[in-house]
């Protein structure tokens, strides 16, 4: 929490800079109008440097353009959008909770349909146009993350985390480049611990709003230039595009078995700064078939 | 003589509830507890020294504010403000179930809703189900229910002699060794079995303790049902109901509704006769309620539907989504049309599109 005090004619001017999204407000509000973060509560930072997602009051409102979004509930929060005329949002269709009958829902075409089809990504993105109400929620207990994007700002999001974004945020996707092959006899299998693709959201010219849903609790950390950290691949939520990734294998010393066989190795995702990374506390179990790794993307290896 | 505190009509002494709006009648005699009925129903509520529950209006005169008025209601307390003149007859009306409570009560004795916390109503008109404080006690008949925990709440029932509750057996968490159990006779057993509905509804009789919970993060929705109410509930969503409530099921009409509605073939229907009853549901995630005016519609994800008044109609509509060569998909959504209440849960099973 940051309060800026400046003496001006006749008395001090109190402003508040939201530590989550950087918006400067007059300090009279209880929550940030851009991201909904509670501003009268101190940020919670662990001893290791992870910051908890800022608390958000139930029914907190996020303003964007002429529209607003209200975050309702605490266990499985609902993002309830009140879209003004001309404003719109896009979303994966399975997150739609309810809508006014008059709100038009149409499909938004995406490039690379074949690749998306084979990668298990949604083929179509759905968009809703104002005026009217439309609401979204995901299917796991967790937190809604509001990421206001400033012009020129982008963020990379792991697949299936995205919930909804305003239409002035562009959507693209890219190959993660994180993979390894296992072989059993003549059968070779390719694994993508992070998913084959990641979503990239970018606000080119005007500010936009991106909402994600995380399972469990969310922790964010800023990694300095040259700093590196290891995370469970399925726990990664989002990262700045400047953060680089690669695989990392660890295995104990003194084992008679090869590190390449599962049970004798630990699989991590190594993240390199500079930039911001976020993880969720409830993550999917990383499945490994226990077979020998024959090839893999660029990786580091450590023996204990 | 008695009179209805809601509509002020007068009734004979033998009447207990108002014939027009279902409110419990109060005696005209100005005694310290003059609003206590002279002949309370055998199983609802309470000792004479405890406050009277006044029951909500009938479905024809619903309790939630109209949609346009609800954002303003968010600024008010969950309970109507007590009158300025404090006295022994001071009562607070619970905004969730309309029961009357003592002026000093912190939570409603009929539904457990906090009386000292503001309603949470979204701008779009959805009201959050009241978040029941840990260890809150709810009264029904001569029995009590204590709500324990908040992430996956437990409903612990202390059944008095003569009271009983019914439930699906998989929600039972624990019970006293000597709490008697039984099975509720059901009609259409084969149909129910084929439809995947519980074939057996279990009964627990007082005296004794028994506790219930479901298998995921969510909220306990406490719904005291006043006489003459019919409520439809998503199958397997009900946790327990008191014996004052009759239980049946309704077949969902229309093949499209069955195939794509996400409800299966049946919905549970709970009906109260001349006596009020207590119904407890468990909603996954957070639970929201909205009142639809006659003819007003809302489109919801079928998997999110939790409950509705029997007066609300539900029809599945398919939203076609096309993007040229790849886009032959559709989205099945349920159109709910008023009048009546609709309850939804925010964590739901997504039903695949066609």
Query: DSSP class of residue B170?
Result: G
Residue B1 inside a domain? The answer is no
Residue B256's pLDDT band, with cuts at 50, 70 and 90, is: low
Whole-number Å distance between alpha carbons of B110 and B100: 9
Chain B CB contacts of A61 under 8 Å are: 123
Q: Mean pLDDT over residues A166-182, rounded?
A: 92
Whether the predicted pLDDT of B74 surpasses 60:
no
**Gap between the Cα atoms of A251 and B209, Å rounded:** 53
Domain hosting residue B270, numbered range: 40-345
- For residue B258, is it within any domain? yes
Contact at 8 Å (CB) between A59 and A69?
A: no
Burial of B23 (0-12, 13-18, 19+ CB in 10 A): buried
Dig out the tokens for B116 from the structure. Answer: 């000292």
Mutate to test the interface with B, among A59, A67, A74, A76 (most CBs of B within 10 A): A76
CB B166 within 8 A of CB B184: yes
Q: Is residue B19 part of a domain?
A: no
CA distance B242 to B278: 5
| Portion of chain B with pLDDT greater than 90, in percent | 46
Residue B48 has a pLDDT of 35
| Band (A65; pLDDT cuts 50, 70, 90) | confident
Is B4 part of any domain? no
Average pLDDT over residues A61-88: 93
Residue B8 lies in a domain: no
Contact of B100 with B84, CB cutoff 8 Å: no
The whole-number average pLDDT for the span A255-279 is: 79
- Asked if residue B13 belongs to a domain, the reply is no
Contacts of B309 (CB under 8 A, 6+ apart): B59, B62, B229, B230, B231, B232, B339, B340, B341, B342
Q: Which residues of A85-109 are buried (b: 16+ CB within 10 A; e: fewer)?
A: eebbbbbbbbbbbbbbeebebbbee
The predicted structure's pLDDT at residue B215: 84
ipTM: 0.80
Pick the closest to residue B250 from B269, B229, B235 (CA basis). B269
**All structural domains of chain A with their residue ranges:** 2-303
Identify whether B18 is part of a domain.
Answer: no
Average pLDDT over residues A107-129: 72
pLDDT tens-digit series, residues A132-160: 999 999 988 999 999 999 999 999 999 88
- Say whether pLDDT at B81 is over 60: no
Give the nearest chain A residue to B285 (CA atoms). A76
Q: How confident is the model at residue B33 (pLDDT cuts 50, 70, 90)?
A: very low
B296-330: pLDDT as tens digits: 999 999 889 999 999 999 888 887 776 655 555 67
Count contacts between A and B (CB, < 8 Å). Answer: 122
Q: Which residues pair with A99 in a beta bridge?
A: A134, B299
Start-to-end CA distance of chain A, whole Å, equals 41
Is B286 close to A117, i.e. CB distance below 8 A?
A: no
* Residue carrying the six token digits 């207590």: B278
Work out the mean pLDDT of chain B and round it to a whole number.
77
In a domain, B12, yes or no: no
**A118-127, B148-157, B335-344: the lowest-pLDDT one:** A118-127
Report the length, in residues, of chain B. 354
Tokens representing residue B30 in the block = 């100005």
Is 90 exceeded by the pLDDT of residue B267?
no
Which range, of A201-210, B41-50, B190-199, averages the lowest pLDDT?
Answer: B41-50
Is residue B29 predicted with pLDDT exceeding 80?
no
A177-211 pLDDT tens trace: 999 998 888 889 899 999 999 999 999 999 999 99
**What CATH number corresponds to the domain at position B297?**
3.60.160.10
Which 189-248 residues of chain A touch chain B by CB within 8 A? Answer: none
Contact between A80 and B151 using a beta-carbon 8 Å cutoff: no
Q: State the pairing for strand pair B172-175/B245-251.
A: unpaired
- The dihedrals phi and psi of B29, each to the nearest 5 degrees, come to -65, 130
Q: CA B248, B252, B257: angle at the middle one, nearest 5? A: 155
Cβ contact (<8 Å) for A73 and B327? no
Q: What is the mean pLDDT of residues B17-28?
A: 61
Indicate the class that CATH gives domain A2-303: alpha beta
Count of structural domains, chain B = 1
- A114 token code pair: 């074949």
Burial class (CB in 10 A: 0-12, 13-18, 19+), A222: middle
Least-confidence region, from A52-56, B49-53, B290-294: B49-53
Residues B239-267: b if buried by 16+ CB within 10 A, e if exposed:
bbbbbbbebebeebeeeebbebbbbebbb
Radius of gyration of chain A from its Cα atoms, rounded to whole angstroms = 21
Give yes or no for A137 touching B (CB within 8 A).
yes
B-chain residue closest to A110, CA distance: B323
CB contact set of A241 (below 8 Å; sequence gap of 6+): A154, A155, A156, A200, A275
B290: nearest CA partner in chain A: A98
Residues of A with Cβ-Cβ distance to B122 under 8 angstroms: 59, 70, 72, 80
Q: Give pLDDT, residue A73.
A: 94
Q: Which residue is closest to A106 within chain B, CA to CA?
A: B321
């Amino acid at each position: 929490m940051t309060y800026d005090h400046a003496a001006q004619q006749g008395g001090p001017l109190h402003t508040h800079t939201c530590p989550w999204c950087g918006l400067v407000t007059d300090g009279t509000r209880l929550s940030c109008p851009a991201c909904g973060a509670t501003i009268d509560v101190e940020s919670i930072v662990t001893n290791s440097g992870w910051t908890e997602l800022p608390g958000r009051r139930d029914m907190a409102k996020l303003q964007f353009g002429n529209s607003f979004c209200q975050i309702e509930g605490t266990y499985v929060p609902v993002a309830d959008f009140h879209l003004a005329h001309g404003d719109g949002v896009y979303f994966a269709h399975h997150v739609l909770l309810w809508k006014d009958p008059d709100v038009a829902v149409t499909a938004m075409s995406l490039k690379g349909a074949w690749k998306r089809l084979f990668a298990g990504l949604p083929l179509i993105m759905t968009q809703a146009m104002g005026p009217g109400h439309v609401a979204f929620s995901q299917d796991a207990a967790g937190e809604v993350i509001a990421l206001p994007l400033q012009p020129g700002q982008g963020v990379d999001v792991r697949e299936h985390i995205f919930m909804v974004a305003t239409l002035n945020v562009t959507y693209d996707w890219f190959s993660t480049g994180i993979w390894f092959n296992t072989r059993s006899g003549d059968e070779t299998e390719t694994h993508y611990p992070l998913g084959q693709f990641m979503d990239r959201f970018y606000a080119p010219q005007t500010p936009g709003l991106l909402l994600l849903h995380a399972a469990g609790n969310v922790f964010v950390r800023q990694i300095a230039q040259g700093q590196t950290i290891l995370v469970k691949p399925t726990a990664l939520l989002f990262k700045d595009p400047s953060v680089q990734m690669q695989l990392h294998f660890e295995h104990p010393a003194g084992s008679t078995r090869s590190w390449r066989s599962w049970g004798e190795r630990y699989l991590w995702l190594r993240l390199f700064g500079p930039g911001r990374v976020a993880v969720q506390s409830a993550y999917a179990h990383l499945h490994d078939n226990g077979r020998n790794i024959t090839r893999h993307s660029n990786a580091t290896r450590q023996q204990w | 003589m008695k009179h209805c505190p809601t509509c002020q009509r007068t009734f004979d002494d033998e009447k207990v509830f108002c014939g027009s709006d279902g409110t419990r009648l109060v005696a005209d005699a100005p005694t310290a507890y003059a609003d206590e009925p002279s002949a309370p129903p055998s199983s609802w509520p309470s000792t004479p020294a405890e406050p009277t529950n006044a029951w909500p209006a009938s479905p024809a005169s619903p309790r939630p504010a109209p949609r346009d008025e609800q954002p303003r209601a968010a600024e008010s307390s969950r309970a109507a403000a007590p009158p300025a003149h404090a006295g022994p007859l001071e009562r607070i009306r619970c905004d969730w179930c309309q029961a009357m409570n003592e002026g000093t009560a912190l939570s409603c004795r009929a539904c457990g809703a906090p009386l000292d916390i503001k309603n949470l109503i979204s701008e779009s008109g959805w009201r959050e189900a009241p978040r029941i404080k840990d260890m809150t006690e709810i009264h029904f008949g001569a029995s009590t229910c204590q709500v324990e925990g908040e992430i996956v709440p437990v409903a612990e029932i202390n059944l008095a002699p003569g009271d009983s509750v019914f439930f699906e057996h998989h929600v039972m968490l624990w019970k006293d060794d000597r709490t008697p159990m039984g099975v509720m006779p059901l009609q259409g057993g084969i149909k129910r079995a084929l439809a995947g509905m519980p074939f057996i509804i279990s009964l627990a009789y007082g005296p004794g303790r028994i506790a219930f919970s479901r298998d995921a993060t969510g909220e306990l929705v406490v719904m005291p049902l006043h006489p003459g109410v019919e409520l439809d509930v998503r199958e397997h969503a009900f946790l327990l109901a008191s014996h004052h409530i009759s239980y049946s099921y309704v077949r969902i009409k229309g093949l499209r509704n069955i195939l794509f509605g996400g409800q299966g073939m049946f919905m549970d229907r709970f009906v109260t006769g001349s006596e009020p009853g207590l119904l407890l549901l468990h909603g996954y995630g957070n639970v929201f309620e909205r009142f639809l005016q006659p003819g007003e519609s809302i489109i919801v994800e079928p998997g999110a539907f939790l409950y509705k008044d029997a007066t609300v109609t539900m029809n599945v509509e398919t939203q076609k989504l096309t993007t040229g060569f790849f886009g032959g998909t559709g989205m099945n959504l349920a159109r709910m049309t008023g009048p009546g209440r609709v309850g939804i849960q925010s964590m739901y099973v997504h039903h695949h599109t066609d």
